[in-house]
Amino acid sequence: MTPNREDYLKLILELGGDKEKVSNKKIVAGLSISGASVSEMINKLVKEGLVEHSPYQGVQLTPIGLEKASTLVRKHRLWEVFLVDHLGYSWNEVHDEAEVLEHVTSSQLEQKLDHYLNHPTFCPHGGMIPQQDQTVHEKDRQTLASYPEGTNVRIARVLDEKDLLDYLMDLGVKIHEEYKITNIAAYEGPITLQNEQKEVSISYKACLLYTSPSPRD
């Protein structure tokens, strides 16, 4: 497959396409390309048996498509771990580098990299790293915006989107940090989080990052 096809499969998986239909609109936004280009590629993926398409609902990965997408995600996230843990990259810098490396990584290199990193299970953004020949099924989590004021939460997963990661880096928010939701502004306004070290206000749009209840709850 060309990297173009690979990018589609990986994005569909990251948008939840292993469990439910993903709209063309989300794919357009994720790849920053035209709707016509997305429709053309979706038709090709359907013919190749990699996705199923339902008019007005979107696409979902077939078992074969999920297997291929999981292999890509595994390579991508292994490289993200390597870049952060061994080359000093920050979590908002690794996506583009890993995007290049995943497409030129052989199965042998993938296995050696996994062994060198001592078989990590999560990437720097909290995403699952499947084992070899294992498919990705991300753990169901709630978004920050779904919790009421007063809830203690832990940042468990952040979508691998450059603008979002840059924004969170500027705020000083990191994966696995624990906070208490101290204020939720009306009309989809910012949500304020606080712990012993700091207080941050996160825009409602950015609150689509995934959290889990804090162990203190």
Residue-wise pLDDT for 5-62, tens only, equals: 888 998 899 888 999 999 998 888 878 788 899 999 999 999 999 999 998 899 999 9
CA distance 47 to 170: 44
Higher pLDDT, 160 or 60: 60
Q: Calculate the CA 208 to chain-centre distance.
A: 11
CA distance 77 to 105: 12
Pick the closest to residue 166 from 73, 214, 94, 100 (CA basis): 94
Q: With DSSP H G I counted as helix, E B as strand and the rest as coil, what are the percentages for the chain, rounded to 5? A: 45, 20, 40
**What is the residue extent of each domain of the chain?**
1-138, 142-213
* Residue range 207-217: mean pLDDT, rounded: 67
Q: For domain 1-138, is the CATH number 1.10.10.10?
A: yes
Is 2's pLDDT higher than 70?
no
The packing angle between helices 24-31 and 35-47, to 10°, is: 110
Q: Is 202 in contact with 173 (CB distance < 8 Å)?
A: yes
3-state secondary structure of 127: coil
Q: How confident is the model at residue 160 (pLDDT cuts 50, 70, 90)?
A: confident
pTM equals: 0.85
Q: Please give the pLDDT value at position 1.
A: 47
Q: What angle do CA 93, 179, 143 make, to 5 degrees?
A: 70
| Fold of the domain spanning 142-213 | SH3 type barrels. (2.30.30)
Cα dist. 66→6, 31, 73 in Å?
Answer: 11, 19, 10
